[in-house]
């Protein structure tokens, strides 16, 4: 813990100063979304990455926490219970925890496919019931609240998004810290052991079911906290926030970021939130791009982005990371050309009569020349990648062989 103090300090400082750097309305709004999704993705990784439980229904705890939080906002507004809205994430967390205790009591008996299927079934059950119990879930329209009614918190009434950001950042820091600390406890470590080899875990004295149950409850708690933040940030919540789409999205984040690393889901949540907020403004096709990116990640980077970065550890130890820069660059340029041309083709096919601005060119779907340019660029890019790949592979192999002078201490 002492060794990591600078990391945590850096994290806290980044959280404090980020809104000063990205101070536009959009910037703050994206940061707010990130706080929510990072907590949610980290909580998901407690299940899949650390506990080996593949869940297709984790949004249930996020959504239930969110719904209860919106209701809590309304109770504050109606002066039934009056407390500061800074504590709303705790309401969400408590609901997530209770739901997880109830559902986990039978779903954690097995891991693997059985667990995945139960999580899917429960998810669909809750979504379907949410449409039936319209009083609590508000039917398809959802429920709305207002975060500004509660007693001011040291004069802050949370009218501004920036104020909400600091509330979210506080909870993000606390939740991340506790989720990290959990991995360092006996229960957290045994979750890894049960993930790796449930059979052996039983023979060293641990009930795999109980170990999974504890992780499951903790994941539900933190998902609920994220749901509470969601309620404060958006002031409304609908059935969509507990359905399979949201569950899938958090799975995507954790996976793209890298399941095997604590920081992985953070990376994934940041990348996906950025893509979601920025790309969706520019293109209707962004979900298609997202799908393609996801599949490519699963195929080529099975350990996610964090895993990709960690792959360079050996080269770093060999002090040969520098030798990779040029080959990377040589491959990346044609790859980017191909990417740009591919995106251009996809966009052009859906432009109709509009003009597609493309790096200074004006392309039209009617013009054969436009198609030709893009196809040629794509071809050149693909060829460039194909030609430069052997060099990159060779450089990679070289960077990963220990240098002669330090072969002694690299064992």
Partner 1 sequence: MSLLTLDSVCKSFGSTRIINDVSLDIEAGEKHAIIGPNGAGKSTLFHLISGRYNVSSGAIGFKGEVIHNLPPYEIARRGLARSFQVTNIFPRMSVFENIRCALLWSEGYRYSFWQLLGRQRTLNEKALDVLEQIGLSDKAQLPSGELAYAQQRALELGIAVASGAELIMLDEPVAGMSNSEAENAVALIRRITEGKTLIMVEHDMNIVFDIADRISVLVYGEIIATDTPQNIRSNARVQEAYLGEVPSDAKGD
Partner 2 sequence: MFEVFVFATLNGLVTGLLLFMLASGLTLIFSMMGVLNFAHASFYMLGAYFAYTLSAYLGFWGGLLFAPLIVGCIGAAVERYGLRRVHQSGHVAELVFTFGLAFLIEEAVQFFWGRDTKNYQSPELFDFALFTLFGQEFSAYRGFMIAIACLIFGALYFVLTRSRVGIIIQASISHPQTVANLGHNVPLIFMCVFGVGTALAGVAGVIAGPVLTTFPGMATVLGSIVFVVVVIGGLGSLPGALIASLLVGLLQSYAIAADVGMPELLHLLGLSFDSSHPLNDLWTLNLPQIAPVLPYLLLVLVLIFKPTGLMGNREQ
* Sites of contact with partner 1 (CB under 8 A): 1, 181-182, 184-190, 192-193, 195-197, 199-207, 210-211, 214, 218, 260, 411
Q: How far is the CB of 335 from partner 1 (least distance, A)?
A: 31
Q: How far is the CB of 411 from partner 1 (least distance, A)?
A: 7
Contact flag: residue 350 with partner 2 (CB under 8 A): yes
* CA dihedral angle for residue 35, residue 40, residue 41, residue 47, rounded to 10 degrees: 150
Contact flag: residue 165 with partner 2 (CB under 8 A): no
First CA to last CA across the chain, in angstroms?
A: 26
Taking each helix axis from N to C end, the angle separating 161-183 and 5-21, rounded to the nearest 10 degrees, works out to 160
Contact flag: residue 378 with partner 2 (CB under 8 A): no
Q: In residues, how long is the chain? A: 411
Q: How far is the CB of 211 from partner 1 (least distance, A)?
A: 7
Q: Which is nearer to partner 2, 287 or 326 (CB)?
A: 287
Query: Which of 124, 146, 163, 202 contacts partner 2 by CB under 8 A?
Result: 124
3-class DSSP assignment, residue 158: coil
For residues 259 and 302, give the distance between their C-alpha atoms in angstroms, rounded to a whole number. 9
For residues 188 and 201, give the distance between their C-alpha atoms in angstroms, rounded to a whole number. 13
252 binds, among partner 2, partner 1, none (CB under 5 to 8 A by kind): partner 2
Query: Which of 12, 18, 30, 54 contacts partner 2 by CB under 8 A?
Result: 54
Which letter does DSSP use for residue 87 in this model? G
1 binds, among partner 2, partner 1, none (CB under 5 to 8 A by kind): partner 1
Contact flag: residue 248 with partner 2 (CB under 8 A): yes
202 binds, among partner 1, partner 2, none (CB under 5 to 8 A by kind): partner 1
CA dist 61 → 43, 130, 226, 379 (Å): 10, 13, 9, 47
- Angle subtended at Cα 199 by Cα 193 and Cα 205, rounded to the nearest 5 degrees: 70
Q: For residues 46 and 215, is the Cβ–Cβ distance under 8 A?
A: yes
- Applying CB under 8 A, what is the total number of residues that bind partner 2? 43
Q: Which is nearer to partner 2, 10 or 291 (CB)?
A: 291
Contact flag: residue 280 with partner 2 (CB under 8 A): no
For residues 102 and 108, give the distance between their C-alpha atoms in angstroms, rounded to a whole number. 11
- Write the DSSP string, 200-235: HHHHTT--HHHHHHHHHHHHHHHHHHHHHHHHHHHS
Q: How far is the CB of 15 from partner 1 (least distance, A)?
A: 23
Contact flag: residue 181 with partner 2 (CB under 8 A): no
Two structure tokens written together for 204:
């060293």
Contact flag: residue 67 with partner 2 (CB under 8 A): no
Query: Which of 110, 312, 351, 389 contacts partner 2 by CB under 8 A?
Result: 110
Contact flag: residue 113 with partner 2 (CB under 8 A): yes
Query: Which of 10, 151, 152, 291 contacts partner 2 by CB under 8 A?
Result: 291
Q: How far is the CB of 40 from partner 1 (least distance, A)?
A: 20
- Provide the total of helices (H) and of strands (E) in the chain, helices listed first: 18, 4
Q: Which is nearer to partner 2, 29 or 74 (CB)?
A: 74
In 108-203, which ranges are continuous DSSP H helix? 112-132, 134-137, 161-183, 186-196, 198-203
Q: Is the dihedral of CA 336, 342, 345, 347 positive or negative?
A: negative
Kindly list the residues in this chain that would bind partner 2 in the complex (CB under 8 A).
48, 52, 54, 56, 106, 109-110, 112-114, 116-118, 120-122, 124-125, 128-129, 132-136, 244, 248, 251-252, 255, 285, 287-288, 290-292, 294-295, 298-299, 302, 346, 350
């Amino acid at each position: 813990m002492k060794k990591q103090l600078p990391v945590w300090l850096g994290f806290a400082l980044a959280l404090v100063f980020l809104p000063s750097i990205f101070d536009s309305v959009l910037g703050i709004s994206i940061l707010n979304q990130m706080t929510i999704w990072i907590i949610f993705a980290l909580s998901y990784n407690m299940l899949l990455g650390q506990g080996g439980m593949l869940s297709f229904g984790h949004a249930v705890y996020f959504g239930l926490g969110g719904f209860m939080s919106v209701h809590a906002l309304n109770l504050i507004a109606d002066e039934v219970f009056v407390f500061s809205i800074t504590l709303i994430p705790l309401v969400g967390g408590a609901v997530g925890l209770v739901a997880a205790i109830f559902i986990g009591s039978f779903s954690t008996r097995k891991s693997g496919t059985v667990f995945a299927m139960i999580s899917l079934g429960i998810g669909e059950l809750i979504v379907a019931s949410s449409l039936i119990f319209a009083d609590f879930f508000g039917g398809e329209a959802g429920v709305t609240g207002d975060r500004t009614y509660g007693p001011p918190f040291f004069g802050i009434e949370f009218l501004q998004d920036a104020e909400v950001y600091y509330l979210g950042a506080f909870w993000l820091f606390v939740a991340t810290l506790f989720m990290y600390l959990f991995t360092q406890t006996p229960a957290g470590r045994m979750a890894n052991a049960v993930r790796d080899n449930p059979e052996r875990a039983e023979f060293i004295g641990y009930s795999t079911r109980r170990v999974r149950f504890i992780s499951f409850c903790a994941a539900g708690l933190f998902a609920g906290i994220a749901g509470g933040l969601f309620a404060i940030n958006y002031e409304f919540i609908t059935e969509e926030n507990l359905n399979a789409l949201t569950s899938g999205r958090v799975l995507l984040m954790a996976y793209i970021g890298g399941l095997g690393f604590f920081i992985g889901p953070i990376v994934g949540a940041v990348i996906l939130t950025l893509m979601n907020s920025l790309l969706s403004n520019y293109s209707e096709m962004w979900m298609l791009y997202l799908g393609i990116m996801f599949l490519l990640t699963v195929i080529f980077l099975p350990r996610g982005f964090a895993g990709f970065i960690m792959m360079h550890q050996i080269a770093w130890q060999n002090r040969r990371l520098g030798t990779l820069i040029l080959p990377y660059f040589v491959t990346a340029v044609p790859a980017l050309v191909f990417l740009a041309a591919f995106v251009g083709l996809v966009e052009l096919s859906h432009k109709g009569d509009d003009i597609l601005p493309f790096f200074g060119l004006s392309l039209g779907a009617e013009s054969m020349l436009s198609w030709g340019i893009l196809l040629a660029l794509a071809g050149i890019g693909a060829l460039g990648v194909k030609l430069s790949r052997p060099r990159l592979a060779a450089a990679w192999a070289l960077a990963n062989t220990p240098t002669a002078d330090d072969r002694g201490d690299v064992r």
